[in-house]
Structure 1
Amino acid sequence: MKIKTLKIMFLLLIAPYMFGCDSKQPEQPKPSPKQEKPVDLLKAKLGEIKTLRQTLIAKQHDFISKKEYFQIEIEKIKQELIEEQEQERIDNRLANIQECDAYLQELDRRLQILSRAPDKLYSLERSFNAKIVMISLMYETEINDLKNQITKIIKEYSPEAAELVIDKSKINLKSKDEILNGLKAEKEELSKKKVELLNKKQEEEKEKNSQIWEEVCNGVFFRINQLTEISAESARCLSQYDDETLKLDNLTTLSPEAAQHLAGWDGVHLYLNGLKELSPETAKYLAELKSKRVQKCTPGRFWGEDCSFYYNSKHLYLNGLIMLSRDNAKYLSQFKGTISLQNLTDLSEDTVVFLAKRDDNRTKLSNNIKQKIDEIRKRR
């Protein structure tokens, strides 16, 4: 009985192998890859649009900087071209201008697109976002159409994110003669504008001076330091100015007739630092500025007043003068007051001789001129 039982158990153990059966569990089918939802695909595409838009904005700023650079380079080359004499160098500079102009043309074309692209992409991005919200109500064909639209837009604007490349075959390059003629025309136009601006400025200054002259002769002196020129009549009115200081630093010219009237002014400090040069006649009249006898009274100790007299020493400021002629030095050296000539540079010895005759305390000079004066005095 035991033997029979053992046989049965043995047969049960080997039966699966005898009949080709496998004790292992059958393999389960592998799950198919998880497919992305249409809404996720569209959002990813919209992310590409957003990235592209930001790239185009950065590219726009970059191209604007490049355009400014090439414009500056062209102007530099043009200035060099004006002064250049050697033909080979002229040809090289003209070729450089052609090269820069080619870049400018391409930059203008690209910037024209880039100026509109970011706004258009942003508008489309918002529009597509609104449609994605309604995707649950859309048919599959509508979803595919939307995806294709986004792909098309990305494909359309992606090339504009590329670096600047010049295809000279597609650019209308200016000839060297055209550049030279254009440069000549620009130069003539610039000269014309300069003349027009100068004339306009002179007319405005003349009108302004006339207004201030009228004010001065009516006893109004608020704007006298704005005068750039004075007539003999206005100088006569200025000589009546009742103040110790008369500032006329904006004067650029001073006629002998006007200087003659200013010499009669009773103040102390006369500022003429705007004058760059003097005629000998003008210097002669300025040197005639005389000190004025002034009476000063204080209450007396017991009664009445105690009065004394003194002379107000004039101070003439001519710090705008760089050079001084021999005749001017001769006349100005006779000025009895203090004179400031601190911007005088190198003077001839016969000019310095006249300044050496003056008292150092009454002559304000640069250290260079002072040294020359000391040398002359030592030789005497």
Structure 2
Amino acid sequence: MKKNKISIYIHIPFCESRCYYCDFCSSLLNRENEEKYFHYLEREIKLRENILKERTIDTIFIGGGTPSSVNEKFIAKILNILKNYDISENAEITIESNPNSLTRRKAEIFFSSGINRISIGAQSFNDEILKKIGRIHKSDDIYKAVENARAAGFTNINLDLMLALPTQKFSDILKSIDEVKKLNLPHISYYSLILEEGTILYKVHKKTPLAFPNELEDRKMYHYVVTELEKIGLHQYEISNFAKRGFECKHNLIYWKLKDYISFGLNASSNIKSLRYRNFSDFKNYYNSIDKNNLPIEFSEKLSKNDRINEYIMLGLRLNSGINIDEFNEKFQKDFLKVYESEIEKNITLGLINFSENKIYLTEKGRDLSNQVELDFFR
């Protein structure tokens, strides 16, 4: 009998330092706690054995935190445990890394353990900007990390970069795109800085807002990135993601298409059908729960059909391919064109969406105003 597919996310909460824009669940690296954490991570996976046996694992994503900061033997062991279950022959298995901690040895062990996609957090090629955002690597480390990944056997490599960083000028984006062209990678993620309350950069922005690019400058940078990446065969397939054909991130597409995924580790969130839940975000409660043979769930909710529809539309509009009307109708047993007739007409008139080949998708103008479009479709 054919089994339904599922994706897995593994959260590694350790970092060598905390970036000034980060509000993720992370902790400074402690070797003693590192070993303990992976022991409990293995136990949590065991607690989910029933659901893992019922499904075929289609993608695995090891994120953080900084997975490349921990001892590589722990990563290899977790993957060996997952190999006890049914993993698709062509499964995409990704690990996140930082340039300064991705050594040749680590890259080789990651690759030999079955990881076939690596994402490198570069953020900027400007050393001064890297300092201002709390990164502990330099631009030279980016090239070395890519070299190490390629030498280990990786061909599916992503580079994360950021827009609207403090003191960032348009000339910095020109330089970054030149470097991207030289590196000739199959995938680039280019995110605009989000100022999360409580982070160091949020406080810096409050004091010196003029040190940051304004919205017009951010959009100018963004449009240049989209145009130049397209010229070198990196096609935009999501608002912030660009890939050569066949190198789109399968794991992220699972999120954007509201498919099932199960997550392990501190503060990790899962989505299975209409059930959404999140693990404890502190070590003590996470460990105590597993010691009692309980799933370390801090919060769970059953999403209503309306909640899922809203989320499906919001995520679908992020994709350049947009929302497939037939897929929507089959998934939710509703007629999209009838339910949203006035919203579709309004946003086409405003030049924010297109409707062709039975798909609704954002125009270039619409991608700049995506939040506005999403709100129109929310019920």
TM-score bucket (shorter structure): under 0.3
User: Rg bigger for which structure?
Assistant: 1
TM-score (norm 1): 0.25
**Would you tell me which structure has more strand in proportion to its own residues?**
2
Higher relative contact order (CA 8 A, sep 6+): 2
Q: Please report the TM-score for the alignment, with normalisation by the length of structure 2.
A: 0.25
